[in-house]
Amino acid sequence: MKGLCPSKVQKAVDALLTSPGVCTPELRQAVEAYAARLCSGRGETPEIPADLTEYVRKVALYAYKTTSEDIQRLKEAGYSEDAIFEITLCVGMGAGLARLEQGLTVLKGSQ
- The answer to whether the pTM exceeds 0.85 is yes
CB 71 within 8 A of CB 84: yes
Residue 77 belongs to a domain: yes
Residue 94 belongs to a domain: yes
Task: Read off the pLDDT of residues 44-84 as tens digits, 9 standing for 90 and up.
Answer: 888 999 999 999 999 999 999 999 999 999 999 999 999 99
Give the separation between CA 31 and CA 69, rounded to whole angstroms: 20
- Checking phi first, is residue 3 left (phi over 0); if not, alpha (psi -120 to 50) or beta? left
Question: Mean of the per-residue pLDDT values for the chain?
Answer: 91
Residue 24 belongs to a domain: no
Our count of domains for the chain comes to: 1
Residue 1 belongs to a domain: no
pLDDT at residue 5 is higher than 80 = no
Strands (E), the chain: none
Residue 25 belongs to a domain: no
Domain range for 57: 31-39+48-106
The stretch 7-23 carries a mean pLDDT of 92
pLDDT the model gives residue 83: 98
